Structure 1
Amino acid sequence: MQQTAAGDTAARRALLLWARERLEGGRDGEIRDALRRMPSAAAASGLWDAVCRAVEDDEAASEHEVGVRLFAFPIVLVVAGRQPAVVTGTLAHPDAIREALEKHGALGAARNVGLSNALCARTALDAIEPSAVLRWSREWSGPPRELAPQEIRVERGREQVHVRFIVGAGISPRDAPSIVETASNIGAWGIPLAKLLMQELACPAVDLLALPRPPVGLLRAPLAGRQAEIEAAFHLFVSNTLRELRAAAGEPTAIVSAHEGAAGAEVRVSMSSVFDAALLEGFRWPLHPFDDLQRIEAVIAELLQACRVDDLRVIPKVLPERMGSGRLFLRGGDAGTGDRAH
């Protein structure tokens, strides 16, 4: 056991050194290539964690007593429009948000904290090279100015889930907890921040709910935001679909299945009624190369069980993109859907 632990520690250290060499040399392409070649989601996730740690625990800057730490707050936004509208992607009062976070203890020992006024999209953060984040953290220049705001176009009569990010930077002692740590208790500051954001983003004829998530390091933010966005969208789907199916035909059958197609892999949740074949709704959960399939299936099952869905079935094998009927989603009476999972 001790030999295994020592080997794991040595492997993690080797990954960290490998990541630091490439970050220092601006060799981001080599990092991307290595991530693509990883044999499993766990291996890819481990390599990406090493890259993130190499930036967050920058050894070259450790000689200084204080340092710059970059972070991002993922913000899940649920919107519904009574008519088409556009929700701004620019914060008019980022200082008021910073003051609220400071008042409720989220910023800890960090000083000179700056927040970008741009609510940026996940694609903007995905496009940032890891070596650029390392460079920004050494320049002491505040949150990156290259990030553009991304507005939200609201469609009439349909609830939508989006994720945006508030990016920031703060100077703090290297031996003090980071903002990621001091703001991990969302219960202390989540509601005040949500209220401020809903005031800032208020738009005529639009119902908007802001759901802030705990901050993460800048490189980790796209994945954290993606996960929060999909989970919020799934909650919305389950709530609406159960209400409609139960009102129309009683208790539904829910089927969880994994699919592989030309566009990649995904988990699907099909909800139908044995009493009305026309009632069939579905949700598609696209998989990222770092995703843990078992964790996602557990999250799905936990919510469905909490909503008292008794007829829950999990297909144990990977299915093709479309069924033989051409449908994307499964009905409870389809061949191969099995029996209840519990």
Structure 2
Amino acid sequence: MATIFVDVQHTCSDIAWRFTQVHIHKVVMLIAFICFAIYEVSASHTVIVLVLVLFDLPFHHLQRATSHVCLIFVSSLILAKTVYQLQIIREGFFLCGSVDINAVDFGVLLMLLFESVVIVHQAQFYDDGSNDIPPVGIVFPYVNRRAADRDVLHCVKFFINYGFYKFGLEICYSVAAINMVCHLDYYSVVYGITVGTLLCMNRKRSAYVWPIHISLFIVTLILQCIAVLGLPLHQCFGDYIYLLCLCQHLYVFMIEAKPQLLDSYGGGSNVNICIHKTLVKQVNPVVDFMSNQSTMLDYMQLYVFKNMFWVSMCCVFLSGASEVSLLSVGLYFGCFIWLWVGPYCFIRSTRRLQNL
């Protein structure tokens, strides 16, 4: 009994360390952005914000370098504030704003140090040769798309590994819609035009214009950071979350653009089998849970696919009811049309469904 408990403890510890390693950088940089771009806005902190927006998010291979840059910069900033408070420094010689060492600087510094601790721990864990190094961003290396249909536990593990890989595009559009509601200004008009253009494209064309969309959004975010004193605080936060999703999905498009990498990737293919000519006559690899239910996972999927239409309509109706504007009228109109048609629209031809 004691041996089983120890094994379970070691397994949970390894999973926790691996999960932390996968997501610690995003959490640390998000905290740094919140602290330096929202709560402690200054010229010195703008350097960190520019590093995050211009280098850390768009370029995954530079993330470790940006962590070192932020760590050195924040440490130097704390030392500079400490030296400035000494009596040997004449206040009239250096003109600056706040020189108080507050919890924001120390909090960001501690988070950066914690990220370094996690990276060093995992490097030592995999250097002994007894543990295989998992792919980048994967928590459970032995769970792939085929294993996701076994039971609920494997399905949860699969979504922890490849949830954003499968539904990243939808998540980006959802975050964009929430961000536009938070703005309700000319920035939201620009976001709406760009997102609407992407919605009119298929996945392959969206992959081509995705870097342009990211570049445009980076420019708008920098403009907002420059004029941050005149904007509500929560708007820059939403923009950073949206930019984070965009850059993460750029990595998904990079995986899909390399067939040799896609074959070995456990998340499976995101190609629509209904429109891809080479896959039309192939057997669907997904288990038919609509006709035969043998596990709890099959019943859960059946419930989701049968009722998600009505849940979506309720969300659209509540969104329209929460605002009194011309856009709300459009939401009401579209919601009533879909409620009138009902789920019978899904029995139409494949071509007409794709046009919807």
TM-score bracket, shorter-length normalisation: under 0.3
Whichever structure has more helix as a proportion of its residues is 2
Q: TM-score, normalised by structure 1?
A: 0.26
Alignment TM-score, normalising by the size of structure 2: 0.25
Structure of greater relative contact order (alpha carbons < 8 Å, 6+ residues apart):
1
